[in-house]
Amino acid sequence: MLLSLICLNTLSAFEPNQKDLLDNEKVKIRNIYYKVDQGVSAGRLLDQKMSNLHYTGFGGVLNFGRRAVTPNYIAEWNFLRVNFNYLNPGHGATDVYQPTVGLRYLHLRNLNELGVFQVHAGLQANLFADVRIASRLGNSFLYADIISEVRPQAKFSTSFHLLRQWNFDFSIAVSLIGVGYRFPEYGTSFMLSEDGGAAFSFSEVHILKPSNFGHFTTGIFLSESFGDVLNPNRFRIGYVWDYYSMKGNHELNVNNAVHQLVLEFYFKVN
């Protein structure tokens, strides 16, 4: 009997942990999707380097990406994010074209597996350029913010039945740290030169932190599957609000808000 106990203990030491096996199986359940987003947008802009006027207008959204989904995490590459708005002030004197181009990587971990709500939290790395082109301003017509940042993000999701099974998602992301680069095509900020005169400052570099920069993004989405059992593609429709504010030198600040109505398609590839 003593020999049997020793053998059993030895064999149990080599048995894989059941929790580890379960976690490994979950990792194997890995769905890969390619995504295409399109929609309409409305923007409101104040760039005090360009003007003290508020510019408003409408535009469009187009994004391409890749998403991996497992029971443990969500990882998403948005390798092309484009938004274009056509803006003008209240009196309509100066038109502004505002293209925004960027890319982003997002990784969220699943914090709870059971219950009515699922909670994911993680980080995203974001790089984008927001450009303003105001041709009627003559020599000073091109402005841009180039921003690289790391942001924490959280996502809350649940499901409900209304004629069919729907999934509801709410997400929020806020700025944490980054670097910002402001570029005027023609110097509109001034500094004192060595001879005491005025010299142009062609660009500004900022270490981004909560005291001089804030970037908030929230999204509310409804999603459902389409296609057959062997090809369970998905779609999401929702609303996104994206806002950032950056303090510039000489109290020349920028505030930019964009509202988007977006339709997203996810095409399963594995």
Encode pLDDT of 152-191 as tens digits: 999 999 988 777 778 899 999 999 899 999 988 665 555 5
Give the pLDDT score at 197: 55
How many structural domains compose the chain?
1
- 8 A C-beta contact, residue 120 and residue 158: no
The amino acid at 110: N
**Alpha-carbon span 171 to 240, nearest angstrom:** 9
For the cut 90, the answer to whether the pLDDT of residue 11 exceeds it is no
- 8 A C-beta contact, residue 68 and residue 46: no
Of 262, 266, 264, 258, give the one whose Cα is nearest residue 55: 258
For the cut 70, the answer to whether the pLDDT of residue 150 exceeds it is yes
Of 40, 43, 84, 82, give the one whose Cα is nearest residue 65: 82
**Alpha-carbon span 158 to 143, nearest angstrom:** 42
Tokens of 5: 């106990």
pLDDT-derived band at 93, boundaries 50, 70, 90: confident
Interval 247-263 mean pLDDT = 92
Query: Looking at the whole model, is its pTM more than 0.75?
Result: yes
Interval 205-216 mean pLDDT = 93
How many other CB atoms sit within 10 Å of the CB of residue 136?
Answer: 9
* Residue 33 domain boundaries: 2-268
SS3 assignment, position 61: strand
Least confident of 22-26, 114-118, 152-156: 22-26
- Residue 261 C-beta-side C-alpha neighbours within 13 Å: 4
CATH of the domain at 166: 2.40.128.100
For the cut 50, the answer to whether the pLDDT of residue 5 exceeds it is no
What per-residue string of b and e applies to 90-110 under the rule 16 or more CB within 10 Å gives b?
eeeebebebebebbbebebeb
SS3 assignment, position 19: helix
Q: Comparing 85 with 202, which gets the higher pLDDT?
A: 85
The amino acid at 37: D
Give the pLDDT score at 208: 94
Interval 45-72 mean pLDDT = 93
Interval 76-94 mean pLDDT = 89
